[in-house]
Amino acid sequence: MPADGVGIMSTNSAKTVAVFIAVTEDNWRSLAVNLSDLQRQRDICPHVVILDSTESGIGAVEGTSVVRLEPDTSFGDAIHEGLKKSPAELIALGVVGVRMLPNRLVRQRTDLSINQHIDLVTSNLVLLDEEGRLAAEANPHKAQEAPTPFWQAGVMIRRNALARIGRSADLPVDLFLYMKLRSEGRTGHMDVALSVASLSEFNANIEDSLEEAMSIRNIRPPIGPNTDKWAKERVRFDERLAQQTSVTDALDRMIREGSFDR
C-alpha cells in the first residue's frame, strides 16, 4: 500500500470512484494541494488519474496513475485516455487549485447510488477572500447564462456518460456534455458546498465561462430544453376522452357547472 493511501483500487469496479485531474504547464505547481485533499477523503479511497499535458511531464506520482499526453491534447482526448486507465464506474473531476472537502466523494457516490436516473451530479463551491474568510457560495445549477467558474470541480459522473465527451479542441466539450445531459434530464445537483476556491480566481474566470457558454449556443442544431416526453401523449389521451364522453359524464359536467338541476 502506498504511503499516501491514494490510488488503491477496489477489486469491484462498480464500487470504485476515480478522480481525473487535468494538469497543464500553467497549474502543475498546485497539484500537491489536490493530492493532499484526496488523502483526507472520508470512507473512500479513490483511484487518482492524472492527465499530464505538461511540456516535460511531471513524472511518476506515488499512488496515482499518470497518463502522459502531448501539451496540445484536447480535454476530451485526455478524458478518453484516462478512461483506459481506470475501470471505475463513477468518475469525479478535479480542478487543480480548487480544494476538495473531505466528504465530497462519499456524498456524491451515495447520491448517484440512490438516484439511478441521473448520470451526472454537481455541487456548490465555497469562495474565500484573500484573507481566507468565507465570501460567498456559488451554485452552478442556478446560473442563468452558464455554470459558474470551476463548476467542473463539483462534478461526479457515470463512466458511460463521460465516455460521450467530445474530442474537439475548439469547443468546451465538458460544458457541452453537461448541457446535453441536462437537456435529457440526466443531471442532478446537491445544494451543498463540497469544494473551495479563491474568490479572486473565481471572478477572474467569469468572462471565460460566459464565452464558453456562447460557443455552445452557436452549435447547430442547438441543444433543446428538457421536455416532458409524456406531455403530448397526455394531451392526446385527454382529447380522446373528450371525444368519447358518455351521457353520465355530460350530466356530471352540467351539474358541476350549475346548468342542470338534478
Express each pLDDT in 219-255 by its tens digit.
766 676 655 555 555 556 555 555 555 555 555 555 5
Quote the CA–CA distance of 60 and 67 in Å, as a whole number: 10
pLDDT at 216: 83
pLDDT at 109: 97
Model pTM score: 0.79
Instruction: Please give the average per-residue pLDDT across 99-126, as a whole number.
Output: 96
pLDDT at 34: 96
Band the pLDDT of 147: cuts 50, 70, 90.
confident
Express each pLDDT in 157-175 by its tens digit.
999 999 999 999 988 999 9
Contact, 193 vs 123, CB < 8 A? yes
| Residue positions counted in the chain | 262
The yes-or-no verdict on residue 4 having pLDDT over 70 is: no
CA neighbours within 13 Å on the CB side: how many for 225?
2
CATH entry 3.90.550.10 includes domain 13-217:
yes
How do the domains of the chain map onto residue ranges?
13-217, 229-262
The yes-or-no verdict on residue 41 having pLDDT over 70 is: yes
